[in-house]
Amino acid sequence: MDITRRKFVKASAIALASAAAGGTMGALSGCGTESGAPAAAASADAAGTVKTVGVCRFCGCGCGVIVEAKDGRLVSVTGDPENGSSRGLNCVKGYYLANALYGDDRLTKPLIRDDKATKGTDGGLREATWDEALDLVAARLKETWKADKSRLAFWGSGQQPIVEGYATAKFWKAGLLSNNIDPNARLCMASAVVGFMNIFQTDEPAGCYADIDETDVFVTWGANMAEAHPMLYSRLTARKLADSNVRHYDVTTLTTRTSASADKVLQFAPGSDIAIANAIANYLIQNNLYDREFVADHIQFKQGAENIGNAFEDGYDASEAGKTVDSVENITFEQFAARLAPYTLEYAEEVSGVPAADIQELAEVFADKSRKVLSLWTMGVNQHNRGTWMNHCIYNIHFLTGRYALPGDGAFSLTGQPSACGTAREVGTFSHRLPADLLVAKAPHRRYSEAIWNLPEGYLDAIEKPGMHTVKMFRELSKGNVDFLWTAHNNWAVSMPNLTRFLGRGDSDKQGIFDCFICVSEVYPTLSTQYADVVLPAAMWVEREGAFGNGERRTAVFEKAIDPPGEAQWDLWMLMEIAKRVLEGETIGGQDAFDLLFGAVYDKQAGQFKGSQREVCRTLWEEYRTFSNPQLNEKAAAINAAEKLKMEAKQLAPYDLYIENHGLTWPVREVNGQWLPTLWRFCDGPQEDGFDQLGVQQYGEQDLAAGVSFYKSADRKPSAVFRPYEPPAEVPSQEYPFWFCTGRLLEHWHTGSMTRRVPELHRALPSALLDMNPADCERLGLKDGDRARVTSRYGSFEITVSTAGRTVPPEGMAFAPFFADETLVNLAVQDVYCPLSKEPDFKKTCVAIEKI
Amino acid sequence: MSDENLSMNDEPVVISSLVVETVSGKTAAVAADLAAREGVEVHETQGHKLVVTIEAATTGASHAVASGFAAVPGVTGVNLVYCNFEDEFAGR
């Protein structure tokens, strides 16, 4: 770098950091705007570099970045000060965003496995042409589809960009008439989703990240934000620093880095969080500390099916208990209070081990209306055999105290993936969903989707029954009941629970993984590609255009900055090429099936898109946007009005506005030609300040308690549902005396397929360690660095023991992250799931630990 | 910025900038500690936040320096804002 360039780069660096800190040096650099932000999207500077707008590829925070490319390579990454989620900041993984693209072993050619016996090994894949690979995948998919479409499946992801997720769901649901499509988001936030739908009849958080800056008390429930959501945790600690009266209560089963900022840690026995939450709710009612006005104006009360058992068996969903888990009935407030009455502080202490005085203190924090309280939770709540119930219990407390949908006063389930909300949930890549919260099981929802997709009326009745959810998909695969599986943007062979069964390494179900034809779209070799019959090399992150939707309802576009390496291709191109082959000769309502579904963006004869990536994304977005803008489609508008679907309540803006604005939070309302985002959903107030003024005016009722109106809920009243404490699926025994908990740590995102390619991140956290309590180690004769075998009734793995790890488990518990495929902790993790959400409980497997 | 800091212009350099958050009352002490580290400059103090740049030979070296900030007493947050690594890739 010559001295002039170096001066320029350094001045830019200072200016950008100053702007992010709210400082005064933002005008130092010639490359900055007045705010210190880099200039507009896709701009070139004198040195020949091109800047594009992007979003971080990793966790669910959705941090904005400006990406700079020169000569076809990325040369800088900058926190985007104009992105409202991150305001210019990135966590340390931001250093390596670009490096994640440049691992030495990027997949650059299609690969085919000729001998299934080589599955599970390093070898057996040979290079192929795209035509050969696509022909093979399409032939196997079509063969399965024609023979028995219950035996095909697609497993997607909360990392799949929005328009690709939309197109995949459309191909699967409308093209193949199959609901056997589910995302890996089933593993991380399905419990939050079912909670939202049960309680609010809409799948969305009411709050936003700005709540972190405005609250007075943080309550983290089963959440290690310091490792898993670093940018948001940075905002939490900044808020604490800014005001010495701000408090943080960490409700957790083990001490983590997040506990470091807590004023009090409530460490509870696994699974007993429901008893604690119910005790808080009971205390509020018994002591007349609840908000009567809020409850009267806004809340209805219910109870549901109880003693629902656990999903150990493959047939659980079809069992009597499994079929009735969703049932609820209305009860009075008095009945609700009576159900809570057994949950005294003393009972909660007995079940959870948390001192009654600490639970009372937290209850009184919720009762103190002079201060705002924000609950934040992640996988400890969602990956829980009663995950949906625990979501209910947290909302119950917030409803009783009138703390929901208000700035700084709220309850927020944080997402773990960059587009778990935008794609898995909003687009509807779940086995029971259609786009925009619509459900396959509801006839008006199918009619609405048919209108937008220009399908004959009644065409989607063939998919009124939900398909296989994720665990069922892999259980059936292991039994030999899935003949075709396509996976993308995930690494199921590492991230799924009960891998001993699913990878055919147990005593039974050994053949399914070998017999099933598996296509894996990937950017690097992974354990999943070792089980693939075909590997399709994918373009990664800013090698193509895409969009993510993060945890605060913010949709943000990442522009294409560079070309993918070798023959790697955009996932959307793969989808089009396979769809055109499978749908060859098929018609829908007398029209060519492929052209009806995708003719607007793809010329199947020419084998190419109709326009640039920008134009393709815009066209698909505008079609998808019609779901939330029914006025764009006359037939849809009529159904929306007749069925009172309120589809425009989740209104999305035209595509290009997301680029111009560096992301927008939905609903985005058109006011006098301007599109205004919403930060605080259901909260009345000026739309231009981020409140939901237009939604409340159109559908809700003004001047109710707290100035909120839950207009998407039945009778405009969300449900407080009583949920009892029921014990974990399995509790420690003489044979399996320890709890085993798994999760993420800072350096490695999910299964490490990207972050482990970055040498610095790999060096920082080279292997998965088993964090143990020193007393347990002493009893077992283990010391730091020893190898141990961890065994459950599902399987076993070997791992190195540590008492100096990132987490400090209590006696009787151990923790290990799941990123390391050489350790593969999920060989031993149970696949028991929440009966309502079907999300597995990764936190409470019972294991034996022995020195080896 | 002094020209002295730019004298090694023929060697690869990764330039990054960060916002370092500190406990109130320890901001000046943290600033002094960071400024004494090789390749580190503190440019501005905004309340409890410091505007810092790091110049190092590689992204990994920059990361190592930044990671070291977390252990400085009084540091509560290390946020990356900008990282330019064009020299590093040019050298590949």
Domain boundaries, chain B: 20-82
> Rounded distance, CA A791 to CA A795, Å?
6
Given a cut of 90, whether residue B91 has pLDDT beyond it is no
State mean pLDDT over A360-388: 98
Chain A residue numbers touching B73 (CB-CB < 8 A): none
| pLDDT (0 to 100) of residue A210 | 95
State mean pLDDT over A60-84: 89
| Residue of B12, B80, B86 lying closest to A90 (CB–CB) | B80
Do A96 and B63 make contact, defined as CB atoms within 8 angstroms?
yes
Name the pLDDT band for A37 (thresholds 50, 70, 90): very low
Chain A residue numbers touching B59 (CB-CB < 8 A): 95-96, 99, 760
A111-188+420-623: CATH number: 3.40.50.740
Do B1 and A238 make contact, defined as CB atoms within 8 angstroms?
no
Chain B residue numbers touching A12 (CB-CB < 8 A): 82, 84
Q: Please state which of the ranges A241-245, A346-350, B32-36 shows the lowest mean pLDDT.
A: A241-245
Instruction: Find residue A789's DSSP bridge partners.
Output: A798, A850
- Tell me: the pLDDT tens digits for A477-490? 999 999 999 999 99
> Rounded distance, CA A754 to CA A761, Å?
10
Per cent of chain A over pLDDT 70 is: 97
| pLDDT (0 to 100) of residue A526 | 97
| pLDDT (0 to 100) of residue B22 | 87
**DSSP tag of A649:** G
If one counts every other C-beta atom within 10 angstroms of the C-beta of residue B9, the result is 15
| pLDDT (0 to 100) of residue A29 | 42
The segment(s) of chain A belonging to CATH 2.20.25.90 are 3-101
Question: Which has the closest alpha carbon to A829: A775, A776, A780, A768?
Answer: A768
A298 within 8 A of A703, measured Cβ to Cβ: no
| pLDDT (0 to 100) of residue A2 | 74
Is A703 labelled a binding residue?
no
Distance from CA of B88 to the nearest CA of A (A): 8
Do A92 and B80 make contact, defined as CB atoms within 8 angstroms?
yes
What is the value of pTM for the model shown? 0.92
- Tell me: the pLDDT tens digits for A275-327? 999 999 999 999 999 999 999 999 999 999 999 999 999 999 999 999 999 99
Name the pLDDT band for A86 (thresholds 50, 70, 90): confident
Q: Please state which of the ranges A28-42, A235-249, A815-829, B1-15 shows the lowest mean pLDDT.
A: A28-42
**DSSP tag of A219:** E
Is A818 labelled a binding residue?
yes
The DSSP element (H or E) to which A738 belongs, if any, is strand A738-743
| pLDDT (0 to 100) of residue B85 | 85
| pLDDT (0 to 100) of residue A705 | 98
Do B15 and A7 make contact, defined as CB atoms within 8 angstroms?
no
A295 within 8 A of A399, measured Cβ to Cβ: yes
A586 within 8 A of A178, measured Cβ to Cβ: no
A659 contacts: CB under 8 Å, gap ≥ 6: A41, A53, A557, A559
Task: Give the catalytic positions of A in this structure.
Answer: 93, 188-189, 379, 416-417
Cα nearest neighbour of A10 on chain B: B15
Distance from CA of A17 to the nearest CA of B (A): 6
Instruction: Put residue A796 in one of left, alpha, beta given phi > 0 → left and psi -120 to 50 → alpha.
Output: beta
Phi, psi dihedrals of residue A524, rounded to the nearest 5°: -135, 160
State mean pLDDT over A557-564: 96
State mean pLDDT over A336-363: 98
| pLDDT (0 to 100) of residue B10 | 52
Structure-token match 């400059």, residue found: B41
Distance from CA of B27 to the nearest CA of A (A): 12
So what's the ipTM on this one?
0.89
* Residue B70 contacts A, CB cutoff 8 Å: no
Mean pLDDT, all residues of chain A: 94
Do A95 and B62 make contact, defined as CB atoms within 8 angstroms?
yes
Given a cut of 80, whether residue A498 has pLDDT beyond it is yes
Chain A residue numbers touching B83 (CB-CB < 8 A): 76-78, 94-95
Better-predicted residue by pLDDT, A571 or A27: A571
Cα nearest neighbour of A38 on chain B: B82
Given a cut of 50, whether residue A729 has pLDDT beyond it is yes
| Residue of B6, B21, B53 lying closest to A238 (CB–CB) | B21
- How many CB pairs below 8 A link A and B? 151
Do A6 and B86 make contact, defined as CB atoms within 8 angstroms?
no
| pLDDT (0 to 100) of residue A44 | 58
| pLDDT (0 to 100) of residue B51 | 94
Name the pLDDT band for A26 (thresholds 50, 70, 90): low
Chain A residue numbers touching B43 (CB-CB < 8 A): 14, 17-18, 25
Q: Is the dihedral of CA A677, A446, A576, A176 positive or negative?
A: positive
Cα nearest neighbour of A81 on chain B: B81
| pLDDT (0 to 100) of residue B87 | 78
Q: Please state which of the ranges A57-61, A191-195, A613-617, A788-792 shows the lowest mean pLDDT.
A: A57-61
**DSSP tag of A93:** G
The DSSP element (H or E) to which B22 belongs, if any, is strand B14-22
CATH architecture of the domain A3-101 equals Single Sheet (2.20)
State the Cα torsion A297-A303-A304-A310 to the nearest 10°: 110
The segment(s) of chain A belonging to CATH 3.40.228.10 are 191-364
Is A301 labelled a binding residue?
no
A604 within 8 A of A575, measured Cβ to Cβ: no
Name the pLDDT band for A468 (thresholds 50, 70, 90): very high
Q: Mutate which of A4, A5, A10, A49 to test chain B, going by most B C-beta atoms within 10 A?
A: A10
A191-364: CATH number: 3.40.228.10
The DSSP element (H or E) to which A777 belongs, if any, is helix A774-780
Q: Which residues of A468-502 are buried (b: 16+ CB within 10 A; e: fewer)?
A: bbbbbbbbbbbebbbbbbbbbbbbbbbbbbbbbbb
Structure-token match 């949920």, residue found: A723
Cα nearest neighbour of A78 on chain B: B82
The segment(s) of chain A belonging to CATH 2.40.40.20 are 738-851
**DSSP tag of A151:** G
Do A76 and B86 make contact, defined as CB atoms within 8 angstroms?
yes
Name the pLDDT band for A748 (thresholds 50, 70, 90): confident
State mean pLDDT over B62-66: 87
Cα nearest neighbour of A93 on chain B: B80
Beta-carbon-side half-sphere exposure of residue A307 (alpha carbons within 13 Å) = 1
Name the pLDDT band for A559 (thresholds 50, 70, 90): very high
Chain A residue numbers touching B30 (CB-CB < 8 A): none
Do A10 and B53 make contact, defined as CB atoms within 8 angstroms?
yes
The segment(s) of chain A belonging to CATH 3.40.50.740 are 111-188+420-623
Given a cut of 50, whether residue B6 has pLDDT beyond it is no
Question: Which has the closest alpha carbon to A169: A450, A462, A431?
Answer: A431
Is A683 labelled a binding residue?
no
> Rounded distance, CA B87 to CA B9, Å?
10
Class of domain A738-851: mainly beta
Chain B residue numbers touching A9 (CB-CB < 8 A): 15, 84, 86
Reduced to 3 states, what is the DSSP secondary structure of residue A409? strand
Question: Which has the closest alpha carbon to A414: A390, A437, A388, A380?
Answer: A380
Distance from CA of B64 to the nearest CA of A (A): 8
| pLDDT (0 to 100) of residue A45 | 64
Distance from CA of B66 to the nearest CA of A (A): 8
| pLDDT (0 to 100) of residue A758 | 80
Given a cut of 80, whether residue A25 has pLDDT beyond it is no
Is A188 labelled a binding residue?
yes
Phi, psi dihedrals of residue A698, rounded to the nearest 5°: -75, -40
B20-82: CATH number: 3.30.70.920
| pLDDT (0 to 100) of residue A612 | 97
* Residue B6 contacts A, CB cutoff 8 Å: yes
Cα nearest neighbour of A761 on chain B: B60
Structure-token match 């590997």, residue found: A535
State mean pLDDT over A648-663: 95
Q: Please state which of the ranges A144-148, A354-358, A425-429, B69-73 shows the lowest mean pLDDT.
A: B69-73
* Residue B72 contacts A, CB cutoff 8 Å: no
Residue B52, token pair as written in the block: 């810092």
Given a cut of 60, whether residue A583 has pLDDT beyond it is yes
